[in-house]
Amino acid sequence: MNDPIALLARWIDEAGGPNSIEAVAMCLATAALNGAPSARIVLLRGLDERGLRFYTSYLSRKGQELAANPLAATVLYWPHLQRQVRAEGSVSPLTGEESDEYFGARPRGHQVAAWASEQSEPLDSYATLEERFAHFSDRFEGEEVPRPHSWGGYLLVPERIEFWQGRPNRMHERLLYTRSAGAWNLTRLQP
């Protein structure tokens, strides 16, 4: 297959589909300007010819690291299928319209939580977070919850995508796609 985005979409479908958390949970690795890496699990919330989309607080640790160093790597792993996909590339914020559209489709509790949580900031007690959630629930009672300006989406534009398929005797199949001048080149790698 010459299109790694289409292959990734197919593997996600085979892992349970885009609405299955197990199929779209991915480890996102970022790095600070000093090179210190950090990784966490986020959900892949969109995939198209441009790349991979995820959403978070711009003020979170990952948001701050992406603002300082807009490169990232991600891994999706499906142990029951003996498969993983790694993607590496540049990351940029999505448009406000794209972020608004996704935010508007989220469950109301998730929307309120985006207002209540100052993600990655210290918290004196969980009760404080619950109070903030109650405050914003009351504040937006009877109306649509607007997207906070500090929250939105990112697009990872892959330059490399590697597909790994486990095989008996550790004779794994590895396909590496690299982008050059807008086209994808395929190289098979040894296990």
Q: Give which of 111, 53, 55 is closest to 87, Cα–Cα.
A: 53
Q: Residue 46 corresponds to which amino acid?
A: G
Alpha-carbon torsion angle 136, 141, 145, 148, nearest 10? -20
> 91 has which bridge partners?
156
Give yes or no: 53 in active site: no
Q: Give which of 30, 31, 56 is closest to 42, Cα–Cα.
A: 56
CA distance to 5, 37, 135, per residue, from 71 (Å): 19, 11, 36
Q: Give which of 24, 87, 86 is closest to 55, Cα–Cα.
A: 24
Which residue is catalytic, options 61, 167, 170, 179? 170
Helix extents (H) in the chain: 4-15, 21-24, 61-68, 96-105, 108-116, 126-139
The catalytic residues are: 170
